[in-house]
Structure 1
Amino acid sequence: MNRTSLRRGIVPGLAVITLALTGCAAGNESDAASEGDLAGTLNGGGASSQEAAQNAWRAGFQELNSDVTVNYDPTGSGGGREGFTSGAFAFAGSDSYLTDDEGELSAAKEQCAADPIEIPNYVSPIAVIFNVEGVDELNLTPAVIADIFNDKIKKWNDPAIAATNEGVELPDANITAVHRSDESGTTGNFTHYLSVVAEKSWTHGEVETWPIKAGEGANGTSGVVSAVTNGKNSIGYADASQAGDLGTVNVQVGDDFVGPTAEAAARILEVSPRVEGRADSSLTFDLDYETDEAGTYPIVLTSYLMACPTYEDGKTADLVKGYLSYVLSDEGQKAAADTAGSAPLSADLADEARTLVEGIKAR
C-alpha cells in the first residue's frame, strides 16, 4: 500500500503566524455564518508544506470575514496530528493521513467523538529540475532518474538517457546530481516514488535524509534550486512552483512523458484508489505511482486537512466550517495555486470535500 507521504513531521515548530480577518460568509460555498457574523479565534497547525497556501487562504478569508483571528502553527505534520488529537488545534494540516500505527486515528476518533474528517487540500508536483548546456527539453524514465540520483549514470550522453531523447544533443559531460542535505519531506516523497516505480534501481527505500554520499547536497528547496541554477550540467528535485526558468523533466507515464503541471499533478488523485477500510468522512488516497493514465504526473506531495464533524462549542464549529469552506472554494484553490503553485482539486473531489465540511456542526 502506497502512502502519500512520510509519517513524521517535516519541519520543527516555527512561530505561530496570526492574522486578524474580516467577515460575513466564509466563501461562496459556506453558510457557516448564516445565523450571524463569524467571530472569535480559530487555532490550527501542522504541515509546513501548506504554510504558503495557508497564508494565501487567510489573506483571502480576511477580505470576506470580520472579527475573526486564525492561527496556523507550521509545526510539521506530526505536530499537527498531535495538536489535533489532543484538542490543541481545532483543525490540522498533515502530509499523511491518520493511521493507528501510533494510535493517532483512535485518538482523533476519541477527540471528535466520531470519525474525523480528512480531506486533501494541497497537491503540489515535485519537479525534476535540470540545467544542461544546449538542452531545453528532457524525457526520462523512472529507472533512469533513479540511476542518475543513485550515481549509476554519470554522463549526460549515457545511452540510457539518449534512448528517450532522440535528436537532442546531449553533452559528453559529467552529471551533477543535487539533493537535499537537510531532512526533507520533499526527499521523502521523491524517494517514495522511486522506491515504488524503480525499486530495482532505487534500493534505499523511502527516506527523509539523503541515503548516499554521491552528488551535491544543498539545504532547503531554495538551496537545491540555486545549486542547479548556478551549477553546470546539473539536475535536482524541488517543488515545481520554485523551478523558475530551469528545465523540468518530462517523466515517463505509460507510453507518454508528462511534465509537472498543476493539472497533471491533480490527476494523480483521480486515478488513485481510496484507502481501504476508512470511514466515509475520510477522503484519503494511496497514490498510484505506477499509473499508465495519460496526462498524469506521478511525483507529487499530497497534504490533508483534518477536522471534527462536530465540536462541543458552536462558535468553533462555525469557524472551522467557514474557514475550510473558503479553502475548498474555487477562490481559495486559485489563491493557493497562484501563491504556492499547488494543483487545484478536481471539481468532483472538491464538491465531495465541501459536502463533508458543510456538515460540521455543534454537538
Structure 2
Amino acid sequence: MTLQHALKTAALAGCLSTFAFSPAISADTTVNGSGASFPFPLYAKWAKDFSKKNKDARVQYQAVGSGAGIRAFIAETVDFAASDAAMNDEEISKVPTDKGVVLLPMTAGEVVLSYNLPGSPELKLPRDVMIDIFLGKLDSWKDERIAEANPDIDLPDDKITVVRRSDSSGTTYVFTGHLAAVSEEFAEQVGHGKSVNWPKSFVGAPKNDGVAAMIKQTPGAIGYIEYGYAEATGQPMAILQNKAGNFVKPGEESGKAALASAEFPSTDLPGYEGTPDLRVWVSDPAGDDAYPIATFTWMLLYQHQDEEKAQVLRDFIEYGLTKGQKDAPKMGYIPLPDNVKAKVEDAMKLVGGEK
C-alpha cells in the first residue's frame, strides 16, 4: 500500500490523527509530541523512517490541533509540539523559564478551499467572492459573480454550506490571516486567530481530516484544509485569485512563489536573548504566480530537558531538514528554502539538556 493510499483511507475514515511507530525492538528513548494536524502526514512519514534508522529511539506525535499543542507545550505534558501559528509573545511568556523555547519552521504548505459540487469541476473564486462566502453573506452557488468567473460550469442550485474548524487551529490562523489582510470587514467581524467569530450558520469539524470528511459528505459544501490532505484524498481545490489579480492553482511552485517574499525578523525571541525569532507570515503575497495562502509550520521545542530526549529531538530535526525535505513535495508540502534550513540548523543547537 502506498503512503498516499494509506493517508486517503485514514482520512476518509476520520482517524488521521495519531501516529506512533514501534520498532521491532523496544525503544530506549521515546519523545512525545502533539499539535498541528496541518503537517501531520509529513511528520508521520519522518517519524517512521527516522525510527527505522534509529532502533533505540521512538517518536510519537498526535494531531490535536495547534491550539491544543501549544497548551500542552506550556503545561510541559509533551516533549515537543507543533503549530502553524508558531506561538505568540504571550504564549511564549507562559513557558517556564527553566525550560526555554525554540521555534523552528520545519516545512511549509498551502491552505486550499475544497468543495463538493457535481462532477468536481475546476472552480475559480475571485477574492471578493471568497470573502463574502466566509463572511456568511453569500449562500448560493448560483451567485452571478461565481457564474461570471466560471462560464463553463453548470453551477447547482445547492446552498453553500461552509465548513470551518471547530478546534483551536493553526490552519484557521493562517486562513483568517489572509482574509483579514484582504478585507477590513472580515478583520472586524470575524477576526484573525486560531479560533474566531465565525457566523453561526457555519458547520464545525475538528482537524484537517474532519473538515475534509465533512466537505466530502455534504453536497454544496466548501471549507479550508491543508493542500496535502486534499491531494491525498482526491478532493477538488479552488483556483484562487491572488493580489496581482491572477487566478492561481495551489502547488509546489505557486507556494514557493508565495513564500519568496518572506523576511524573517532580525530580533531575538522575546525573553530569550541569543535565540533567533523565526516567526514569519506572508498573509497576502505579491507576485503574479503566487498562490495567495501559504505558510511555514513550526516545531516548538524546549531549550532544556532530559539530555537523551534532547539528543533524539536534535537527530529527528536533522533528519527532517535533510532526507525529510525530499518527502515534502511528494506529499503536498513545500521544501524549506536553503536559507531557511540554514537558520533552523543553527537554531536547533539550542535544543539542549538540563539547565
Bin of the TM-score, shorter chain as denominator length:
0.7 to 0.9
1:177 equivalent to 2:161? Answer yes
- Maintained 8 Å contact 2:66/2:82: yes
How far off its partner does 1:160 sit? Answer: 2.4
TM-score (norm 1): 0.73
How big is each residue's C-alpha offset from its partner over 1:226-263, in whole Å with a ceiling of 9 and x where there is no partner? Answer: 44434444433222223233331111111322222244
Aligned to 1:282: 276
- Maintained 8 Å contact 1:180/1:210: no
- Maintained 8 Å contact 2:211/2:223: yes
Change (3 A) 1:317 1:135: closer
**Percent of aligned positions that are identical:** 24
Larger Rg: 1
Give the whole-Å Cα distance in 2 for the aligned partners of 1:139 and 1:95: 26
Aligned-CA RMSD value: 3.6
Aligned to 1:47: 35
Q: What amino acid is the match of 1:229?
A: K
- Maintained 8 Å contact 1:142/1:198: no
Give the whole-Å Cα distance in 1 for the aligned partners of 2:245 and 2:127: 12
Aligned to 1:29: none
How far off its partner does 1:135 sit? Answer: 6.8
Q: What amino acid is the match of 1:298?
A: P
- Maintained 8 Å contact 2:117/2:156: no
Give the whole-Å Cα distance in 1 for the aligned partners of 2:78 and 2:124: 44
- Maintained 8 Å contact 2:34/2:82: yes
How big is each residue's C-alpha offset from its partner over 1:109-133, in whole Å with a ceiling of 9 and x where there is no partner? Answer: 5424xxx432111423221112334
Aligned to 1:213: 200
How big is each residue's C-alpha offset from its partner over 1:24-48, in whole Å with a ceiling of 9 and x where there is no partner? Answer: xxxxxxxxxxxxxxx8414242314
Aligned to 1:27: none
Unmatched segments (≥5 aa) in structure 2: 1-15
1:334 equivalent to 2:320? Answer no
- Maintained 8 Å contact 1:272/1:286: yes
Match of 2:254 among 226, 244, 264: 264
Aligned to 1:236: 223
Change (3 A) 1:251 1:100: same
- Maintained 8 Å contact 1:183/1:209: no
Aligned to 1:123: 108
Change (3 A) 1:52 1:180: same
How far off its partner does 1:303 sit? Answer: 2.4
- Maintained 8 Å contact 1:179/1:210: no
How far off its partner does 1:217 sit? Answer: 5.0
- Maintained 8 Å contact 1:46/1:78: no
> Pairwise mapping of residues 194-205 of structure 1 onto structure 2 (< 5 A)?
194-200=179-185, 203-205=189-191
TM-score (norm 2): 0.75
1:325 equivalent to 2:318? Answer yes
> Pairwise mapping of residues 1-363 of structure 1 onto structure 2 (< 5 A)?
18-21=20-23, 40-49=28-37, 50-74=39-63, 76-78=65-67, 80-81=69-70, 84=73, 89-102=78-91, 104-105=92-93, 107=95, 109-112=97-100, 116-133=101-118, 136-165=121-150, 167-171=151-155, 173-180=157-164, 182-185=166-169, 186-200=171-185, 203-206=189-192, 208=195, 211-218=198-205, 221-243=208-230, 244-253=233-242, 254-275=244-265, 277-279=267-269, 281-300=275-294, 302-308=296-302, 311=304, 314-329=307-322, 331-335=323-327, 337-338=329-330, 341-357=332-348
Give the whole-Å Cα distance in 1 for the aligned partners of 2:64 and 2:228: 22
- Report how many residues are paired: 327
Q: Which has the higher helix share?
A: 2
Change (3 A) 1:160 1:47: same
- Maintained 8 Å contact 2:281/2:295: no
SS at match of 1:97: coil
